A and B are shown apart, each in its own frame.
Chain A
């Protein structure tokens, strides 16, 4: 069945940005006749989802096997309410097929605040939220993947399968086994559990002790992350749908590297995407050319966690500039200050440049293993000014382990020093510094996974202090919302008990929680209270010998290494980049850097 779009005409005329819901994007490739139908569902608005590269890679891996891969996004509240009232189920954009008619719906969990959106989409599709209510086999497999899937426990009761790690192969392998087994049979689940990166929550039971804390796991107690060893030959879409509505990142994206050598201790991506794997200059150039000619975009973004660490970056930029049409601009969104170099200058508009010192003092930067010095920050800013930039954005975090008021004063000091190197006589424009301070959220699989989060009182005190410190000419300050950070912390390190809270919050109207205008902290608090769950029990510091909800998942990075890094943090010791020396995170056998990749360059 397909949705009759003429029935939607009236609704589309009443809602904001109706082109989000019409489909027909140039470059859409959903096959109408296929042995397996997969719908890549992104639990956030169209503009956000359309910017995501990972979902397009996963869809491509299904397409390469001859399966149909379609897309769906969370509708904004107005459209959601309208289709619910009209009795029209949520549908995919390519085939206009109701979600419930797919074989598999894959939700990409990019951030914790989208968990209720997943329930919202299932509900709009007429699919029961809990796995236990879908046992009669009439429903699609509900699967999740993405960075949040490394601790999928808060959503474990809603889903059938969790994909952990790289999505290039495991996801489509599961589809092949599904077809061989004739559906989601016992044999199907038995076979897919043997694959790396596949976690079936129904096969793992969590045991709680009398104190309410986890005392062990039963059933399948070890799940290994999927790792694509050769990124160069991994599936990558040479053509991508061009969004109808301008998306957040409205440009072609190529993935230069996966993983990061730096190991900043707060950064989950820096640990869960290990080991670092690179694509070759040749592959990247041909991927960029194919994307530009198939999409008509005028910009290529060189994405990775730290593009400045790509060892052949200059060669890549020269190769891209030679091969791409003249007017195509390059964007390098993730440059560290110590890798900032005139040659890497982005040739888009020179307006603002973003640096992320993350902490105000050298002491605290050493604690988080940021491994950049004050001089490097100032020099990077000075060379940016010489190149014509007149604005810088600075990212910091607040509430990091061992933080004191001195560290907050350090943020002011960095601003003062940057102002000092901006030569007013040489330029007409006044310098603008935008300081953005977010609240630290401890995440699983990082050396800080045991840390507590700062309390509301501490947060208020530090935010006040920062407001006073940064009330200076030319500096604007924005700070993240504390309630959002707390909820993120609870969900990030949560367990299966939270499923009830997420469901209740959704039933009470919490959706699109990642959008500050739509986030309703008091309703979330009510949901926690009604479920008898104390948020503080999740934001507290965890004991090092405590069993953590995600302990049965093996990302390849060992717990011993994470503990070693945690202790080094408290000693103020920097471990440094994997490029300098191998720190023995546990992935040495599969890590190209540990295998001497860079010695040969």
Chain B
């Protein structure tokens, strides 16, 4: 198996998760990297990606696992045959699937365009109730791990996996509370077991 870290930039951030999956599968087919198939009635290639990032959020830290015996230069071939914005940054051979959809616990982001505010106003709150996309009341405070400004750029780390908070919704909350509007949200790092 090969675990790989890849980008979702230059327009690829607008792909839906299923389309992204198809693009990576086709990249591997063009590159001649054969994926092993599941053994069910409708066999499908065994490719595992981390949890979907929201459409429009760029990323330099997506992770995936390809079940393959391929022994050549994965990174070079992947980048030669991948579409714009989906580029492999690093890869390594692994004995078992790290299951990035499960093992990632937090992601760090940067965002520009939000009005300046004192992060302590957010971090000092005990709870921050908001209404999520399905109309449910939820407390997002436990999902915010860090928040600071570096110049005009807001840097923050949010929970993912079981403690997930969408970066775009968090920015919408900040914009509503403090003004401005996040124009570019970029995932800069993912945290958890098996990252590299």
Contact = CB atoms under 8 A, between A and B. Distances in A.
Interface of A: 5, 9-10, 12-13, 17-19, 22-26, 242, 244-246, 250, 293-298, 327, 349
B42 A17 contact: no
A328 B65 CA distance: 23
B27 A296 contact: yes
Interface in B3-60: 10-12, 14-16, 18-19, 22-23, 25-30, 37, 42, 55-56
Q: Which of A19, A246, A349 has the most CB of B within 10 A?
A: A19
Given A10-B183, A24-B85, A26-B82, A18 B22 contact: no
B56 A296 contact: no
12 contacts: A9-B56, A9-B184, A13-B168, A18-B56, A26-B26, A26-B30, A242-B23, A242-B26, A295-B26, A296-B28, A297-B29, A298-B29
B26 A297 contact: yes
Interface string B70-92: 00000000000111110000000
Contact of A19 (B16, B29, B82): B16
Given A23-B11, A26-B82, A250-B22, 14 more contacts: A9-B56, A13-B55, A13-B168, A19-B14, A19-B16, A19-B19, A25-B83, A26-B23, A244-B14, A244-B23, A245-B15, A246-B19, A246-B22, A295-B26
Given A22-B11, A24-B10, A349-B42, A296 B19 contact: no
Contacts of B22: 246, 250
Nearest to A14: B56
A496 B12 CA distance: 44
Given A12-B56, A24-B11, A244-B19, A296 B81 contact: yes
Nearest to B83: A26
Contacts of A244: 11, 14-15, 19, 23, 83
A17 B11 CA distance: 12
Nearest to A294: B30
Nearest to B182: A13
Contacts of A298: 29
Lowest 5 CB-CB distances: which A-B pairs, in order?
A296-B26, A24-B84, A22-B11, A296-B29, A26-B83
B183 A5 contact: no
B19 to A, nearest CB: 6
B30 A245 contact: no
Contacts of B12: 24
A16 to B, nearest CB: 10
A290 to B, nearest CB: 12
A480 B152 CA distance: 57
A366 to B, nearest CB: 42
Nearest to B58: A9
A5 B12 CA distance: 13
Contacts of B26: 26, 242, 295-297
A19 B81 contact: no
A238 to B, nearest CB: 14
A376 B81 CA distance: 47
A22 B14 contact: yes
Nearest to A250: B22
A354 to B, nearest CB: 20
Given A24-B83, A25-B83, A294-B30, A17 B56 contact: no
Contacts of B85: 24
Interface in B126-152: none
Nearest to A26: B83
Nearest to A328: B29
A19 B25 contact: no
A25 B19 CA distance: 12
A293 B14 contact: no
Contact of A245 (B10, B19, B42, B81): B19
A26 B165 CA distance: 32
Given A12-B56, A13-B56, A293-B30, A18 B14 contact: yes
Nearest to A5: B11
Given A18-B55, A19-B19, A349-B42, A9 B183 contact: yes
Contacts of A295: 26, 30
A194 B15 CA distance: 47
Contacts of A17: 16
A297 B184 CA distance: 33
B29 A242 contact: no
Nearest to A242: B26
Contacts of B16: 17, 19, 245
Contacts of B29: 296-298
Q: Which of B25, B84, B183 has the most CB of A within 10 A?
A: B84
Nearest to B15: A19
B128 to A, nearest CB: 23
Contacts of B42: 349
A62 B84 CA distance: 24
Contacts of A23: 11
B163 to A, nearest CB: 25
A362 to B, nearest CB: 39
